[in-house]
């Protein structure tokens, strides 16, 4: 009898375990749990969930992680390009004048990306990203960028996958950049990552085939590009979408256009103590007033980082 009692207690503990322990109790947590419960009505092959990355799954301030990678790559290449000491935009980067980055033109950014994101094979590029992530630290937190992922969103991803959802990242960031770490960091395999993509070209090196990254953009996976890429690469309309900025608006609209149950959520960065607070005036992750009005009008759930999340990041482990 005693053994049966402890077995019963163990079963109760498992069944009552909170799948979202980093979320405070409230409407947004309940909306997620209710959606997952109702998703039993959705055929398994139609359970598609899409997540933006920057600002939705990890920190995007004061600069996108990929931008930090590009800047460090320029510094690493500087010895081979001595003229950069007097040429913009390289001069500003090498002098570390981060406040002047906002003055970079589209042509400046294009030059940076050409030198740091093309001219090598896809495998070489992935290796560069992985090695950089091993040592790079965020300037505010002095922690690896891959440790600055949002614990509450990891719990949502885990809960969805546990309930047979096919989870995808749909990001304005570089597709090859995210694919280099997405499986290790989020548990999302590279084939489930859609991002802004550059053109590739098939080559041979002593008879061995490889794909070379070219200095040309194939498509930009932002704003209207997100539903377009979802249709092209996934082939089904999502039933759940998570974003944080105007770049995700059309992805949530596209998700809303399907049959219920559906879930559309936006992360609102309103916690300057634990993370950052920014909104309509931010050049990175802009959450415009128009987007807020649309969210309220359409019944999208706006996640308050300050009020909804008990914990922002996983416990640090270096």
Q: Assess whether pLDDT exceeds 70 at residue 13.
A: no
Q: How many other C-beta atoms lie within 10 A of the C-beta of residue 112?
A: 19
Which pLDDT belongs to residue 8? Answer: 41
Which pLDDT belongs to residue 16? Answer: 58
Mean pLDDT throughout 238-246?
Answer: 98
Nearest to 57 by CA among 251, 201, 259, 242: 242
Mean pLDDT throughout 153-167?
Answer: 98
Q: Assess whether pLDDT exceeds 50 at residue 4.
A: no
Q: Assess whether pLDDT exceeds 60 at residue 14.
A: no
Token representation of residue 288: 């415009």
Mean pLDDT throughout 105-127?
Answer: 89
Q: Assess whether pLDDT exceeds 70 at residue 83.
A: yes
- Which region among 92-106, 139-153, 278-292, 294-308 has the lowest average model confidence (pLDDT)? 92-106
Q: Which residue has the higher pLDDT, 115 or 275?
A: 275
- Can you tell me the distance from the alpha carbon of 271 to that of 26, in angstroms, rounded to the nearest whole number? 17
Token representation of residue 39: 């998703």
- pLDDT above 90 covers a percentage of the chain that reads 85
- CA trace torsion 180, 181, 184, 185 (10° rounding): -160
Mean pLDDT throughout 70-88?
Answer: 92
70 CB-side CA count, 13 A: 23
Mean pLDDT throughout 175-189?
Answer: 98
Q: Assess whether pLDDT exceeds 70 at residue 201.
A: yes
Domain covering 20-64+119-308 in this structure, CATH number: 3.40.50.1000
What residues pair up with 197 in beta bridges, in sequence order?
219
- Can you tell me the distance from the alpha carbon of 82 to that of 79, in angstroms, rounded to the nearest whole number? 6
Q: Which residue has the higher pLDDT, 247 or 113?
A: 247
What residues pair up with 234 in beta bridges, in sequence order?
none
Mean pLDDT throughout 280-288?
Answer: 95
Q: Assess whether pLDDT exceeds 80 at residue 316.
A: no
Strands 193-205 and 263-268: unpaired
DSSP letters along 227-295, please? Answer: HHHHHHHT-S--SEEEE-SGGGHHHHHHHHTSPSS-EEEEEE-B-TTTS-B--TT-SSS---HHHHHHH
Q: How many other C-beta atoms lie within 10 A of the C-beta of residue 218?
A: 12
Helix (H) or strand (E) segment spanning residue 50: strand 48-51
pTM of the predicted model as reported, rounded to 2 decimal places: 0.92
Identify whether the C-beta of residue 287 lies closer than 8 Å to the C-beta of residue 279.
Answer: yes
Identify whether the C-beta of residue 152 lies closer than 8 Å to the C-beta of residue 20.
Answer: yes
What residues pair up with 23 in beta bridges, in sequence order?
309
Mean pLDDT throughout 3-15?
Answer: 42
Confidence of residue 11 (pLDDT cuts 50, 70, 90): very low
| Cα→Cα distances 1→4, 5, 8, 12, 207, Å | 5, 6, 10, 17, 70
- Can you tell me the distance from the alpha carbon of 237 to that of 269, in angstroms, rounded to the nearest whole number? 27
Domain ranges of the chain: 20-64+119-308
- CA trace torsion 293, 229, 182, 258 (10° rounding): 50
Q: Which residue has the higher pLDDT, 109 or 80?
A: 80
* Alpha helix ranges (H) inside the chain: 2-16, 27-38, 65-77, 90-94, 106-117, 122-135, 151-162, 175-179, 182-186, 225-233, 249-256, 289-298, 305-308
Q: At what angle do helices 106-117 and 65-77 cross, to 10 degrees?
A: 70
Which pLDDT belongs to residue 25? Answer: 98
Which pLDDT belongs to residue 123? Answer: 97
Contact partners, residue 37, CB within 8 Å, separation at least 6: none
């Amino acid at each position: 009898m005693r053994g049966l009692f402890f077995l019963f207690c163990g079963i109760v503990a498992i069944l009552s375990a909170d799948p979202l322990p980093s979320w405070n109790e409230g409407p947004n947590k309940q909306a997620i749990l209710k959606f997952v419960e109702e998703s039993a009505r959705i055929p398994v092959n139609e359970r598609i969930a899409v997540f933006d990355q920057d600002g939705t799954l990890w920190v995007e301030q004061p600069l996108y992680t990929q931008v930090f990678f590009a800047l460090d790559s320029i510094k690493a290449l500087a010895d081979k390009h001595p003229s950069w000491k007097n040429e913009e935009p390289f001069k500003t980067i090498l002098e570390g004048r981060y406040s002047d980055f906002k003055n970079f033109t589209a042509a400046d950014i294009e030059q940076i990306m050409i030198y740091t994101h093309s001219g090598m094979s896809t495998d070489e590029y992935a290796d560069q990203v992985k090695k950089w992530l091993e040592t790079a630290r965020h300037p505010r937190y002095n922690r690896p960028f891959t440790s600055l992922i949002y614990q509450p969103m990891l719990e949502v991803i885990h809960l969805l996958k546990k309930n047979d959802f096919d989870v995808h990242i749909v990001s304005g960031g570089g597709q090859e950049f995210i694919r280099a770490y997405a499986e290790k960091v989020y548990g999302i395999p590279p084939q489930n990552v859609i991002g802004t993509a550059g053109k590739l070209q098939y080559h041979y090196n002593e008879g061995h085939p490889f794909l070379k990254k070219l200095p040309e953009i194939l498509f930009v996976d932002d704003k209207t590009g997100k539903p377009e890429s979802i249709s092209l690469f996934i082939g089904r309309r999502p039933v759940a979408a998570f974003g944080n900025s105007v770049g995700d608006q059309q992805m949530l609209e596209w998700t809303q256009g399907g049959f219920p149950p559906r879930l559309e959520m936006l992360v609102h960065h309103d916690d300057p103590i634990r993370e950052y607070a920014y909104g309509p005036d931010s050049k990175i992750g802009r959450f415009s007033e128009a987007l807020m009005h649309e969210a309220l009008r359409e019944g999208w759930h706006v996640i308050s980082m300050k009020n909804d999340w008990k914990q922002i990041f996983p416990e640090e482990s270096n």
